[in-house]
A and B are shown apart, each in its own frame.
Chain A
Amino acid sequence: MPVSAPDIAAASTAPEAGARDPGFGIYVHWPFCVSLCPYCDFNSHVAERVDHQRWRAALTTELAHFRDRTRDNVVTSVFFGGGTPSLMQPETVARVIDAVRTGWHSAPDLEITLEANPSSAEAAKFRALRDAGVNRLSLGVQSFDDAALRFLGRRHSAAEAKRAIAVAAENFPRFSFDLIYGLPGQTADDWKQQLREALELAGGHLSCYQLTIESGTPFHKGGVEAADEATGATLYDVTQEALSAAGLALYEISNHARPGHECRHNVSGWRGSNYLGVGPGAHSRLTEAGRAEASHRILKPQRWLAKVEATGHGTAKTMALSTQARIEELVMTGLRLSEGISRRRFARLTGRELEGVLDKGGLKRMTDGGFVASDDIGLRATPKGRLCLNAVLGQLLAQG
């Protein structure tokens, strides 16, 4: 059923609608790592010494800075990302969570995720992190093969990672870990073996990323090559087979979960929610006086810190997001999800009708070719379309 702008009121009464759809997340960036991994292009840095007190103060200061303009939102998730947030002092984590809980209304089932590296030293802190309020842990395991871990420049061994997973399982009601596949020379059998080991230890969630060679990283400079297209496709298929058989269904391009174990923070982002990001380089999508805007914080940790201490926030740039830009973001992220894009939610968020904003010829070609499918609820990428999503998006968003 086509939905147009005047139907917005009707749309909000749909089951998935309401104040918590698609939610409101708060992202907290911790930029420090013990060492830098050669494939990583996240905003990560190695610091000789971190003045935890100053950082704690700065993070809460920046949160406070944004509170007034975002306090109408019910916070549905908090995500500590990095860098390596498991290097934060639990005290800092606790203070940030406290600031969120006291500054905003939060959902009763508030999800609080923290990214952790699976070294023994960090595993020893898991309990304290739980006590600080974290209720979901995401571990950067990457591989269960020591040679692969060395290649990836990781500081932990496979054995350490397995122990860390066990500690996480003991301490957190929900946990996940990340694996990277498509390492040079990796065969389908190698990867199947990794998946078997993963499934023995997995909880309700698993993320599997194909190794991407990001420009400027040591891997890029060193000429390390990503798996070729055919290998990438094969490894992806292998992943789907193994994980769906184990009940960990694909819910996003690289993410698998048992029903109910999806990362709510990320899902709401992909559905097009607003979110607030604090800490160096963190991004936000906020609506100010009815106008959508995107902003991000200063990247360099020390410069961010100094700026926050001086002015109360570390925002580097704020840009208005046009309706067109909003539409594109929604389509881009929405189609990453297996559930696809809900027509009603799309109309509610953009005031536009989903099919009306897509390229007509492109949509027809993609539908006829079996790359996207639509039903009463909305539009989603088929498994085949998901695997080539960049090209599919190019077809659907050709106009504008």
Chain B
Amino acid sequence: MTEDLSRIRNFAIVAHIDHGKSTLADRLIQMCGGLPEREMKEQVLDTMEIERERGITIKAQTVRLAYKAKDGQTYQLNLMDTPGHVDFTYEVSRSLAACEGSILLVDATQGVEAQTLANAYLAVEAGHEIVPVLNKIDLPAAEPGRAREQIAEVVGLDVSGAIEISAKTGQGVDRVLEALVKRLPPPTGDVHAPLKALLVDSWYDSYLGVMILVRVKDGIVKRGMKIRMMATGATHQVEQVGYFTPKPQQTDALGSGEIGFITAAIKTVADTDVGDTITEDRRAAAVPLPGFKPSVPVVWCGLFPVDAGAFEDLRDSLAKLHLNDASFHYEPESSAALGLGFRCGFLGLLHLEIIQQRLEREFDLDLVTTAPSVVYRVRTTDGGVKELHNPVDMPDPVKIASIEEPWINATIIVPDEFLGAVLALCTERRGRQIELTYVGGRAMARYRLPLNEVVFDFYDRLKSVSRGYASFDYELAGYEESDLVNVSILVNSEPVDALAFIVHRSHAESRGRVICEKLKDLIPRQLFKIAIQAAIGGRIIARTTVGALRKDVTAKCYGGDVTRKRKLLEKQKKGKKRMRQFGNVEIPQSAFLVALKTGE
């Protein structure tokens, strides 16, 4: 523990996705000797399998480094590597709250992108001193001059002290270290005051149990100390205190200005409130730290096991994953078409995809997800308000006074040549332009967009109309009343719950038709013809028909054919377990699964 706060620097590395944060962290760790050379690897802080595979950071990581500066002093640097993707902005905010300064990293081959801007603003809001750093100057396509200009113009930062580096080769990184020491303020706080530590993050470690990442503001947290969570009132005995180098390293105490972990025999992550203030039970602080707003899931969908028998496995797996990621929500859901599953809420589409993939990989489950939906606010005629996570729960239309949907403020940065297409896409998705500015051959469009239009294949479309050159960021921006309708999909006049969706009236017919057509191709023909319809209440808005089978019989059936046929029948019977009766026909669950899987 250091009592000399002037020799501590706490900083976060923030940037747009893939601009090189984790690679810069590698170099900083290396130059400060945090890890022996043989244990170094690229993006060493990205430890989760899915992070390594996708090459992105999902979980923010903290490392304490000892840096011997040119002034001869050794400084304690607490580095926080953050994720760049918009879904994980919450991780960035938390990290920022634990630091006094930030490195704003910009890929000099790309320039300022949407999350550069968003994260820079977060850092400014957090009152940070910001060091702009231009990365990847080893690449021939790097244009550090232009990137500098964009930072100045778009973000509005002073770029005179911007540092040009290659996080890959290490070029210029020494200057980053010096700048951290010289330009960032040391933390402030009173070591002798009652303990006040910010609960920055918590997760489950299979060896150490629940670990809590803290930033001590005032006082000291020690092994054996009895602590109290100010929001929940729960008390615990501190078992271990330490920090990451990035390997966990035990120590006796963490003092004012320091970042590190504690363990305290806490059973589950759910018992820890991120943003809570930890104090000493015996000598409690009077006022807690401001904390932060809890993260709210914005995208919801149903997760169902393809094999109905795997429901229990899914439940256990979700519980296990939840130990480590409390930001997703799940509650049991029962669907007539898909069986038992869970309605789950996520921070965004990438988050959804990652959780689904982890469930499939790490727990060997075969899953299907229903179409992602946002949280609607339904006002009923009796004056009630209902938050709707699932189209199935939509009240009877006659009881609905109005429906509100969440909107976002989106920022899109795109090269001029694709602007027209991007604007057209935003308009098609009911967007309202707020602002359009140009910087160095690129346009920055700010739009107000309904979130439900974004969760419906917007990213794919944006990518394709801009050939991947557009970057996108958003923040939630309130609810607005809207002309929304609940579209149900009917098979032989019976609704398929899992396929229902809420959509703006103007898109109801076209989306309904798409699903009907898709189902038509997926449902095998049967003895009876099958009507597939999309409907708003009792009104049919689209329909297709699967004609009845005309011929399905084996021409020859002698001797051995009988055995073969019986085996076929056996298979058919197994398949039946995954069939759902709609009037006089049976629809294989797989038809719904594929309809859902192929998406748009």
Interface of A with B (CB < 8 Å)?
A: 27, 81, 209-210, 212, 229-230, 232-233, 236, 253-254, 266, 269-270, 277, 281-283, 294, 296, 325, 328-329, 332-333, 336, 361, 365-366, 368-369, 371, 386-395, 397-400
Contact = CB atoms under 8 A, between A and B. Distances in A.
Contacts of A333: 557, 562
Counting chain B CB atoms within 10 Å of each CB, the highest count among A212, A232, A388, A398 belongs to: A388
Contacts of B526: 391
Nearest to A398: B576
A337 to B, nearest CB: 11
Contact of A332 (B560, B565, B573): B565
A266 B557 CA distance: 10
B553 A387 contact: yes
Nearest to B527: A391
| 10 A-B pairs with least C-beta separation | A283-B559, A233-B550, A233-B551, A389-B553, A209-B555, A232-B551, A388-B552, A390-B552, A210-B555, A283-B560
Given A283-B563, A387-B552, 20 more contacts: A81-B558, A212-B554, A229-B525, A229-B552, A232-B551, A254-B556, A282-B559, A329-B566, A332-B562, A332-B565, A336-B557, A365-B527, A365-B584, A369-B528, A388-B527, A388-B553, A390-B553, A395-B527, A397-B569, A400-B573
Interface string B518-543: 00000001111000000000000000
B73 interface: no
7 contacts: A81-B559, A232-B551, A254-B556, A333-B562, A369-B527, A369-B584, A388-B527
B549 interface: yes
Nearest to B563: A294
Contacts of A270: 557
Q: For the complex, would chain B's binding face be called helix, strand, loop or mixed by DSSP majority?
A: loop
B569 A328 contact: yes
B572 interface: yes
B553 A253 contact: yes
A387 B569 contact: no
B115 to A, nearest CB: 51
A269 B558 contact: yes
B569 A394 contact: yes
B571 to A, nearest CB: 10
Given A277-B559, A282-B559, A369-B528, A332 B566 contact: yes
Nearest to A281: B560
Contacts of B528: 369
A392 B527 contact: yes
Contact of B549 (A325, A391, A400): A391
Contacts of B581: 361
B573 A212 contact: no
Interface in B546-593: 549-560, 562-563, 565-566, 569, 572-573, 576, 581, 584
A208 B215 CA distance: 85
Contacts of B554: 212, 253, 389-390
A76 B7 CA distance: 105
A336 B528 CA distance: 21
Given A329-B566, A397-B573, A388 B549 contact: yes
Nearest to B548: A388
A336 B526 CA distance: 19
A214 to B, nearest CB: 10
A39 to B, nearest CB: 11
Contacts of A399: 573
Contacts of B563: 283, 294, 296
Given A369-B584, A371-B527, A386 B553 contact: yes
A325 B566 contact: yes
Contacts of B584: 365, 368-369
Given A332-B562, A392-B527, A400-B573, A254 B555 contact: yes
Contacts of B550: 229-230, 232-233, 387-388
Contacts of B559: 27, 81, 269, 277, 282-283
A229 B551 contact: yes
A81 B560 CA distance: 13
Contacts of B556: 209, 212, 254
Contacts of A328: 566, 569
Contacts of B569: 328, 332, 393-394, 397
A398 B527 CA distance: 15
A155 to B, nearest CB: 21
Contacts of B549: 229, 388, 391
Contacts of A233: 550-551
B573 A236 contact: no
A395 B557 CA distance: 19
B552 to A, nearest CB: 5
A166 to B, nearest CB: 26
A72 to B, nearest CB: 22
A217 B553 CA distance: 20
A395 B573 CA distance: 9
A253 B562 contact: no
Nearest to A381: B553
A254 B576 CA distance: 28
A398 B573 contact: yes
Contacts of A281: 560
Nearest to A284: B559
A111 B214 CA distance: 93
A325 B563 CA distance: 9
A361 B586 CA distance: 12
Contacts of B565: 332
